[in-house]
Homo-oligomer: A and B are copies of this chain.
Amino acid sequence: LQEIPKHVQENQRLYQLSKAGKLCVPAMNVNDSVTKQKFDNLYCCRESILDGLKRTTDMMFGGKQVVVCGYGEVGKGCCAALKAMGSIVYVTEIDPICALQACMDGFRLVKLNEVIRQVDIVITCTGNKNVVTREHLDRMKNGCIVCNMGHSNTEIDVASLRTPELTWERVRSQVDHVIWPDGKRIVLLAEGRLLNLSCSTVPTFVLSITATTQALALIELYNAPEGRYKQDVYLLPKKMDEYVASLHLPTFDAHLTELSDEQAKYLGLNKNGPFKPNYYSLPRLPPEEG
């Protein structure tokens, strides 16, 4: 039996059940709706990376050298925030498209080994496992801060630090000093679990978006005419994704422009949306190619 990695369990369990013909009700994958993705990842992490680091370490961001592993939405948020605060940010990536984006956004794309000796902070946001290994940890400089903003607690090989020659010292809640025999200290946050959940807060605005998305999905499934949804997994219809966004615009006193009849006809759009096709979304399913 194939082991299912955790991050796939979270996102993809439904797809696997469906594929196996074991899904007994229609399901909606709200996690991959655009609105939720952007807010839970890009915009929320842009703020919580700063908040999580400050509350745990009281460090100054200006001038610090930071490496961010992974340049997806979470990584983009972390990088943007730290760059804005005066940090010097390096990025690692496996996907050449994300890598090229990191370049165009002004970050040096490196392998972790190239900068591991010089950085003050290591942040993982890959969804992968063992991105930061014991070997990396051995090479970090004294005082280096290590934390995880990704999708699981597997990104930093924390288990490798639970060996007799290393001493752990809890300096405050969520903050451990791991001490090498030569006195070097690594500052490990939240024992490698998610920094944004463990050491920061999630703004009510983000929670509102998530809850609205889930509620609308349930209402849609409940109200849908017989036969619209089968025992399968569906993305949130684009129109509902847009509706979630429109419900949150008044918070910002934001005024949406309406299409004229002539413009709607020219664009081939309904004046009330959807304004993008259903598949204009960012699903992160395991690829079926190659």
| A residues whose Cβ falls under 8 Å from a Cβ of B | 5, 8, 34-35, 38-39, 43-44, 46-47, 50-51, 54-55, 58-65, 80-81, 83-88, 92-112, 114, 118, 127-131, 154, 200-201, 203-206, 237-239, 241-243, 245-246, 248-249, 251-260, 262-263, 266-270, 272-280, 282-290
Q: How far is the CA of A61 from the CA of B45 in the complex (A)?
A: 12
Nearest B-chain residue to A114, judged by Cβ:
B255
Nearest B-chain residue to A104, judged by Cβ:
B62
Q: How far is the CA of A33 from the CA of B101 in the complex (A)?
A: 14
When the two chains form their complex, are residues B93 and A256 in contact, meaning their CB atoms are under 8 A apart? yes
B51, B54, B95, B255: the one within 8 Å of A201 (CB): B54
Q: Please tell me how many copies of the chain the complex holds.
A: 4
When the two chains form their complex, are residues B95 and A130 in contact, meaning their CB atoms are under 8 A apart? no
Nearest B-chain residue to A206, judged by Cβ:
B60
When the two chains form their complex, are residues B249 and A109 in contact, meaning their CB atoms are under 8 A apart? yes
Q: How far is the CA of A109 from the CA of B254 in the complex (A)?
A: 5
Task: Summarize A's interface: helix, strand, loop or mixed.
Answer: loop
When the two chains form their complex, are residues A5 and B267 in contact, meaning their CB atoms are under 8 A apart? yes
When the two chains form their complex, are residues A8 and B54 in contact, meaning their CB atoms are under 8 A apart? no
Q: How far is the CA of A81 from the CA of B287 in the complex (A)?
A: 35
When the two chains form their complex, are residues B96 and A249 in contact, meaning their CB atoms are under 8 A apart? yes
Top 5 nearest A-B pairs (CB, nearest first) are A84-B84, A109-B254, A60-B203, A96-B246, A63-B103
When the two chains form their complex, are residues A287 and B263 in contact, meaning their CB atoms are under 8 A apart? no
When the two chains form their complex, are residues A289 and B277 in contact, meaning their CB atoms are under 8 A apart? yes
CB distance from A91 to the nearest CB of B (A): 9
B112, B276, B286: the one within 8 Å of A95 (CB): B276
Which of A114, A259, A266 lies at the interface centre, i.e. has the most chain B CB atoms within 10 A of its CB? A266
When the two chains form their complex, are residues B269 and A287 in contact, meaning their CB atoms are under 8 A apart? yes
CB distance from A119 to the nearest CB of B (A): 10
Q: How far is the CA of A8 from the CA of B5 in the complex (A)?
A: 42
When the two chains form their complex, are residues A289 and B100 in contact, meaning their CB atoms are under 8 A apart? no
